Amino acid sequence: MNAVLGVGGGIAAYKSAELARALMERGIRVQVVLTSAAAQFITPLTFAALTGRKVITDLFSNSSSEETLSSAIEHIAVAQENDALVIAPATADLLARLAHGHANDFLTTTYLAFTGPVFLAPAMNTNMWLHPATQENVSILKKRGHVIIEPEEGMLACGITGPGRLADPQGIAEIVAGFSSLGKDLEGETILITAGPTQEPLDPVRYISNRSSGKMGYALAEAAVHRGANVILISGPVQLPEPRGVSVIQVHTAVEMRDAVMQHLAEASIVVKAAAVADYHLSRVPQHKVKKTATRMSLELDPTPDILAELGQKKADRLLIGFAAETENLTRSALSKLESKNCDMVVANLVGQDGTGFESDENEVVLVLRTGETIPLARAPKRDIAGRIFDQVIKLRLSLHAAR
Ligand code: CTP
């Protein structure tokens, strides 16, 4: 496991050196990021010596010294390369900036670019901790799903006794390490996921496609990798970065997607067909650009291979999850797709509404099961929907095992 340890500028910053060591003792690789205020309390060199890695100090500092490293885009790489973000001490100022999405230094930009679990260990003066502004910020961060490791009561550096002292570094490390072994419920599974649209050429310069962005399929791939699965992502043309830890195979057409799926099918224990595959294509594409004429033009298209239907025929004991994009009769159409294509579950997606479905960051779907049971998932970020889909996949897997 790789973790970013963000250190805020408070007197407790010196305890983060012990935290860095405690995390490393639990097998976690630590990348330290110091805010500029933290660097007033403890030097980058201390952390560089402890972790054996360069320490990142600030977004635009461009320091050339050996133990510091920074660039304007590096926060994206740091966010992608790490599995957890731990911020200790999280000062009142940092909590406020995180809660309100400020992006004015390396740590806050990394936070915004990071999609994994976030652990915040606040430390500050008791009155600052108890102030409604801080408590409101903490409640925003809790609602966002972050783990708040509450400060302890005790004698503080400022001389007052009360809550505000950084939690024990060993205890913080224990919580982070415990979390990394949790939730690996897809370990041992190889999940083949298709995502995005397909592009069907009409001639060397034109194609037909659809509005799928690939965001749902990519969110599924990320969720599956986080939960320990081996993931093969077969992707149509999309504008998304390749998810870390996933084998990505890029395709354009439905036929290419079908061939890639069949080539990797033997490895897969679960197949999730989130791609919006074109149903029709030109089976003989002209070699040269079609010229404009004054007369009307019509296209005669042939059906593409129905990949999901073929998967249903070759199902064996693998779990098969289809998607159904509908503009009406959502559940009924999804159930009939489930039956005709021999799926275990269909994720039914009402497309053509504002803010969900194609192109959107959010989705609202209904999971339709073989039993006819339907599970509506309220509108949520695609990342959360992906998690709920895999929760259901695990239940299906368990019920199939029990039935054997
Ligand atoms: N699908 C597929 N191959 C195709 C078309 C669709 O594998 N040639 C898969 C999609 O990946 C999705 C499911 O079939 O998992 C349903 O796709 P959808 O477009 O909703 O349904 P179709 O089967 O194409 O039926 P229709 O367009 O008539 O609703």
Fill in the amino acid letter for 352. G
Of all protein residues, whose CA lies closest to atom 9 belonging to ligand 1?
Answer: 308
120 and 196 both lie in a single domain:
no
Average pLDDT (176-199) is 88
CATH number assigned to the domain comprising residue 37: 3.40.50.1950
Last residue of a domain, one of 132, 160, 182: 182
Q: Which residue has the higher pLDDT, 318 or 29?
A: 318
Q: How many domains does the chain have?
A: 2
Of all protein residues, whose CA lies closest to atom 14 belonging to ligand 1?
Answer: 308
Q: How far apart are CA 12 and CA 18, in angstroms?
A: 11
pLDDT digits (tens, 9 = 90+) for 26-42: 888 899 999 999 999 99
196 and 309 both lie in a single domain:
yes
Last residue of a domain, one of 182, 204, 233: 182
173 and 194 both lie in a single domain:
no
Q: Which residues are CB-contacts of 334 (< 8 A; sequence separation ≥ 6)? A: 324, 326, 346, 348, 366, 368
**Does 322 contact ligand 1 (Cβ within 6 A)?**
yes
CATH number assigned to the domain comprising residue 248: 3.40.50.10300
**Does 281 contact ligand 1 (Cβ within 6 A)?**
no
CA 163 to chain centre: 34
132 and 235 both lie in a single domain:
no
169 and 198 both lie in a single domain:
no
Residue 66's pLDDT is what? 43
Smallest CA-to-CA distance from 53 within 71, 30, 86 is with 30
pTM here is: 0.66
398 and 359 both lie in a single domain:
yes
Strand, coil or helix: 39: helix
Question: Domain limits at 146?
Answer: 2-182
Atom of ligand 1 at shortest range from CA of 304? 8
Last residue of a domain, one of 119, 153, 182: 182
Fill in the amino acid letter for 255. V
Tokens of 362: 């959010």
Rounded distance from Cα 197 to ligand 1 centre (Å): 11
Residue 185's pLDDT is what? 85
Of all protein residues, whose CA lies closest to atom 18 belonging to ligand 1?
Answer: 324
Asked if 70 and 63 count as a contact pair (C-beta separation under 8 A), the reply is: yes
Residue 398's pLDDT is what? 80
Q: Is the pLDDT of residue 68 over 60?
A: no
60 and 84 both lie in a single domain:
yes
Smallest CA-to-CA distance from 147 within 184, 113, 182 is with 182
Asked if 81 and 30 count as a contact pair (C-beta separation under 8 A), the reply is: no
Asked if 340 and 300 count as a contact pair (C-beta separation under 8 A), the reply is: no
177 and 54 both lie in a single domain:
yes
244 and 227 both lie in a single domain:
yes
Positions annotated as catalytic residues are 158
167 and 202 both lie in a single domain:
no
Fill in the amino acid letter for 246. V
Residue 193's pLDDT is what? 98
172 and 224 both lie in a single domain:
no
333 and 202 both lie in a single domain:
yes
